[in-house]
């Protein structure tokens, strides 16, 4: 190991410093509760139908895949 490599950890510690106070300042349960109560995102049936139709198109006409990808 290069001698200066041994000094790097010390330099890092002195320059950046460890986290002074890693203690939690408040109870996060109310935020967690709100997250749990948030309704899950549900896609309507027509979105699924559209996705299925696109997949079906790609299966039936695979030559269309490069043409679609080219647009991106």
- Which residues contribute to the site for other proteins (CB under 8 A)? 1-2, 4-5, 7-9, 11-20, 22-25, 27-29, 31-32, 35-36
Shortest Å distance, C-beta 14 to other proteins: 4
Q: 3-state SS of 41-65?
A: CCCCHHHHHHHHHHHHHHHHCCCHH
Helix count and strand count (H, E) for the chain: 4, 0
Q: Which residue shows structure tokens 């198109």?
A: 57
C-beta of 31 vs 61, nearer to other proteins: 31
Shortest Å distance, C-beta 59 to other proteins: 32
């Amino acid at each position: 190991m290069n001698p200066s490599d041994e000094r790097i950890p010390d330099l890092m510690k002195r320059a950046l410093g460890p986290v002074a106070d890693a203690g939690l300042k408040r109870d996060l349960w109310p935020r967690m509760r709100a997250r749990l109560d948030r309704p899950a995102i549900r896609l309507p049936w027509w979105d699924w139908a559209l996705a299925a139709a696109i997949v079906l198109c790609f299966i039936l006409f695979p030559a269309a895949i490069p043409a679609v990808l080219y647009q991106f």
